[in-house]
Amino acid sequence: MQTLRRLAPQIVTLLAVCLLVTLFFPGFLDISMSGGRLVGPVIDILKRSAPVALLAIGMTLVIATRGIDLSVGTVIAICGAVAAWAIAGGMGLWAAVALAIGAGLLAGLWNGVLVAVIGIQPIVATLILMTAGRGIAQLITEGRILTFTDPGFAWFGSGTLFGMPVPAVIWIVTGVVMAQLMRRTALGLLVEAIGINRRASALAGVNALVLLIAVYMASGLCAALAGIITAADIRGADANNAGLWLELDAILAVVIGGNSLLGGRFSIAAALLGALIIQTIDTGILLAGFPSEYNLVIKAGLVVIILVLQSPRLATEWYFWRRSVREGPPPATTKEHAR
Amino acid sequence: MNPRLLPLYATIAIFLVACVICYIQFPYMLSTRVLGNLLTDNAYLGIVAVGMTVVILSGGIDLSVGSVIAFSGVFIAVMLRDTGLPAPVVFVLLLIVTTAFGAAMGGLIHGLAMPPFIVTLAGMFLARGAAYMLTIDSVPIDDPFYEMLRKAYYLMPGKGRLTLIGVVMLLSFAVGMVIAHRTRFGASVYALGGGENTARLMGVQVGRTTVGIYAFSGFMAGLSGIVFSVYTGSGYPLATVGTELTAIAAVVIGGTLLTGGSGFVFGTFIGVMTMGLIQTYIVFDGTLSSWWTKIVIGGLLLLFIVLQKGLLRLTSARFSGGLA
């Protein structure tokens, strides 16, 4: 019940966006079975939101510790390049997956050490990898777009599992596992404690150093999964364009999910709903027949509306306004006695 | 010695070392021709970095500038193509638009008490989207006034060309230095970077200063857009993607603290020149691939941030030592 109340704004927004798209494109909610797989715009949205949704999972945790991870888009490029390099080198499917995930964890470790041990601001620390990372990815692919034809690896991008596209399955499973890991154990609470006040949490016995590094590594892991999906989807690694600006979409998804950039309480489910909202808008604009040029402007308008709704200053004023309406304007001194 | 000056000295020292390395390997690199090209090629980056320096000094960040540059180019190209307005009038219109855009973002940041990161991210989407809505093609600019601007240069001794846009960049840095270090507004910017509450207690008008800071950044981004359109001779909505991060990197390499409150506009100039020099070196070398630029710049970023961290620890240790 409490979870539902927390997620209500995001669910309402998602439903409203779906309704809006259905008005312009009546066939939006159609789902049919074709050749053992589900097809339809909704399934397409579930599949296409995979990279942003995966990034949003890791980003939620990082933002909950009052950090930010700008490097995830680049990590996608690096992991995609590593995977494609391994596949093209004939190392086999699982070696490629393992290497890509290893690269993601390594990138997360790097960010985590810079933030937790050296104590650099997260935005700057991850900016380093964001700048240098594309160069590293290009170093791996030697500046070309590495392509491969391994059907096993391509399954991660275009295969189906129980009728669902594999990317959708991957992000949903990752989201559920991560959310359970955070909420069934004390981990989520500890992460929130770091985000609210790192020093106080350290004094209370939370091992902030290890947890911070672990959170950034989780973000790297999610980016690695997204990188594998992206590379498998196009059957190649594009060091220049893979995951370009996805970090911004992921941050947006987290913010739409109602998570504060100032750290503290977080909800992975809400961030995932945010990612779905973004992808529904993107797909909906195309389905509704608007030129895709409108996409960014509509997105910007949406962000501003959400910002206004979430603004701490407006929230306080709204609170006082409602209270004054409810209680009428009695003199301030008697109000204290009335309670 | 003033510890606040140390990052600036470090920046200058690294730039000089880089120059010496370049000179030893390629003696021709220290010619006025290379210098002229360095100024011309990095003119738009330098101009936008001036605005970014002021924003970062105030403890903020402006992610919208790359999109604003692209919007400016498209706006100019479409206006010149579709209306009969002369180029200078279009320039003035554009600068009004981008300054108002920046001011609006500043107003939102102050009015909603939201982090600049997210507000300017929305601005980034909006400006890029507006550019797309004007056109999705690359629009060439063929205007006689533009030809004149592009061909305007002063021949330095040694046949180096000091182009008009290079001069515009140098002037922007001069103006930026005066504004940041010699005006009341500049003092307010530094105070804001030190902490909003202390700044308010000092009597800084926080709202007005915030709006002014982002309006200045918007103006500089518009000016940079004009320079970029002169440089490329066209307007293209996909141009200058990621310039905001290059500008931020230049500011950090220039020794400005990303937390705000400490740094120099002149340092940013050296930062831009250092990044340009790395690129020129890679072009001169010929065997190194262009992606090494990114890796080296990333390495330099790391070096400077760790250096600043060390300096901060040093100064804070000194202060606490003084108190004890």
- The runs of H, that is alpha helices, within A113-238 are 122-141, 151-158, 166-184, 187-196, 198-203, 208-234
Torsion, CA B278, CA B283, CA B289, CA B295, rounded to 10: 10
More confidently predicted of B6 and A57: A57
In one letter, which amino acid is B23? Y
Chain mean pLDDT for chain B: 86
In a domain, residue A329? The reply is: no
- Cα(A41)–Cα(A162) distance, integer angstroms: 18
Proportion of chain A above pLDDT 70, given as a percent: 94
- Say what the pLDDT of residue B170 is: 93
Judge whether B288 is closer than 8 Å to chain A, CB to CB.
no
- Closest Cα in chain A, distance from residue B149 (Å): 32
Written as six digits, the tokens of A160 are: 């189906």
Q: How far apart are CA B15 and CA B273, in angstroms?
A: 8
222-241 in chain A: CB under 8 A from chain B: 239
Q: Mutation test of the interface with chain A: which of B118, B134, B206, B303, choosing the one with the most A Cβ atoms within 10 A?
A: B118
Q: How high is the pLDDT of residue B67?
A: 92
Specify whether the backbone of A62 is left (phi greater than 0), alpha (psi in -120 to 50) or beta.
Answer: alpha
Query: What is the phi/psi pair of residue A236, to 5°?
Result: -175, 165
Q: Find out whether A303 and B125 touch, Cβ atoms under 8 Å.
A: yes
Q: Which of B74, B79, B108 is nearest to B93 (CA)?
A: B79
User: By the 8 A CB rule, do A59 and A221 touch?
Assistant: no
User: Are B306 and A308 within 8 A, CB to CB?
Assistant: no
Chain A: give the shortest CA distance to residue B93, in Å. Answer: 21
pLDDT value at residue B219: 96
pLDDT at residue B214, as a whole number: 96
**What's the domain range around A234?**
7-289
B33-73 pLDDT, tens per residue?
Answer: 888 888 999 999 999 999 999 999 999 999 899 999 999 99
Residue A326 lies in a domain: no
Average pLDDT score, chain A:
84
B178-191: average pLDDT? 92
Looking at the partner chain, which of A121, A130, A261 has a beta carbon nearest the beta carbon of B118?
A: A261
Cα A312 to Cα B282: distance, rounded to the nearest angstrom: 48
Burial-class residue A65 by CB neighbours within 10 Å (0-12, 13-18, 19+).
buried
Q: How many domains, chain A?
A: 1
Which structure tokens are listed for A65?
């510790």
Is residue A39 in some structural domain?
yes
Is A157 part of any domain?
yes
Cβ of A296 and B125 within 8 Å?
A: yes
A282: left (phi over 0), alpha (psi -120 to 50) or beta: alpha
> pTM value?
0.83
The CA distances from residue B222 to A106, A259, B254, in Å, are: 40, 33, 22
User: What are the tokens at B252?
Assistant: 């950090």
B130 to chain A, minimum CA–CA distance in Å? 7
CA distances for B224 relative to A5, B10, B49, angstroms: 47, 28, 9
Residue A334 pLDDT greater than 50, yes or no: no
Question: Rounded to an integer, what distance in angstroms lies between the CA atom of residue B157 and that of residue B155?
Answer: 7
Q: Is A336 within a domain?
A: no
| A131 reaches B (C-beta below 8 A) | yes
Amino acid at B99: T
Are the beta carbons of A98 and A92 closer than 8 angstroms?
no
Task: Pick the range with the lowest mean pLDDT from A55-59, A146-150, B1-5, B136-140.
Answer: B1-5
**Residue in B119, B132, B245 closest to A296 by CB:** B132
Is A330's pLDDT higher than 70?
no
A118·B309 Cβ contact <8 A? yes
Nearest residue to A154 (alpha-carbon basis) of A47, A236, A258: A236
Kindly indicate the confidence band of residue A339, based on its pLDDT and cuts at 50, 70 and 90.
Answer: very low
Contact between A131 and B249 using a beta-carbon 8 Å cutoff: yes
Whole-number Å distance between alpha carbons of B222 and B200: 30
pLDDT of residue A336: 43
Helical axes B87-112 vs B206-232, angle rounded to 10°: 140
pLDDT of residue B324: 36
Q: What is the distance between the alpha carbons of residues B296 and A131, in angstroms, rounded to a whole number?
A: 9
Note whether B310 contacts A: Cβ–Cβ < 8 A. Answer: no
Residue A329 above 70 pLDDT?
no
Q: How confident is the model at residue A110 (pLDDT cuts 50, 70, 90)?
A: very high
The pair phi, psi for residue A257, each rounded to 5°, is -70, 5
Question: Is B82 a residue whose pLDDT tops 80?
Answer: yes
Q: Which CATH number does the domain housing residue A133 bear? A: 1.10.3470
- Contact (CB<8Å) A135/B249: no
B129 and A294: CB-CB below 8 Å? yes
Q: Per-residue b/e over B87-99, b at no fewer than 16 CB within 10 Å? A: beebbebbbebbb
Nearest to A112 by CA among A131, A129, A91: A129
Tokens coding B218: 């918007």
Is residue B88 within 8 Å of residue B258, measured between CB atoms? no
* Closest C-alpha among A250, A249, A232, A231 to residue A241: A231
Q: Is the pLDDT of residue A221 over 90?
A: yes
Residue A319 has pLDDT above 80, yes or no: no
Of the pLDDT bands very low, low, confident and very high (cuts 50, 70, 90), residue B253 is confident
Residue A201 lies in a domain: yes
B 207-226: CB under 8 A from A: none
State the complex-level ipTM: 0.75
Higher pLDDT among residues A249 and A306, named by residue: A249
More confident call, A106 vs A329: A106
Distances (CA, A) of B44 to A117, B247, B275, B282: 37, 10, 13, 20
The encoded tokens of residue A66 equal 């009052």
- The answer to whether B129 contacts A297, with C-beta atoms less than 8 Å apart, is yes
Single-letter code of the amino acid located at A90: G
Most confident of A106-110, A155-159, A332-336, B140-144: A106-110
- Pick the closest to residue A242 from A100, A103, A74 (CA basis): A74
A270 in a domain, yes or no?
A: yes
Specify if A18 maps to a domain.
yes
